[in-house]
Amino acid sequence: MKIEGKTLQGIVWKEGNGYVSQCLNVNVASMGDTKVEAIKNLQEALELYFEDTDIRDVISIENPEVVPMVLHA
């Protein structure tokens, strides 16, 4: 399925000695030694994911925000 031009939302964060990148629209994540590498790897993973998934099934995410969550036992 052609996905060119579709904008997806992703996040990236440092974890240990590397970086993790994750798409918020679909359950796809990747990692790399640098932020740039993690994002590049996520882009590649998404392109592979959409070879077998219909882009019309993607949920729309607008203005994602990172918020702190405190859990109480």
Q: How is 25-39 classified by DSSP, letter by letter?
A: TTTEEEEESSHHHHH
Q: Select the highest-mean-pLDDT range: 9-18, 47-56, 64-73.
A: 9-18
pLDDT attached to residue 2: 47
Is 70 within the bounds of a domain? no
What does the alpha-carbon distance between residue 54 and residue 56 come to, in Å, rounded to a whole number?
5
Residue type (1 letter), 70: V
The answer to whether residue 71 sits within a structural domain is no
Instruction: Write phi, then psi, for 8 (nearest 5 degrees).
Output: -115, 160
CA–CA dist 23, 43 (Å, integer): 9
Please count the structural domains in the chain: 1
Assess if residue 32 is contained within a domain. Answer: yes
Name the DSSP letter for residue 41.
H
Owning domain of residue 27: 10-49
4-41: pLDDT as tens digits:
677 889 999 999 999 999 999 999 999 999 999 999 99
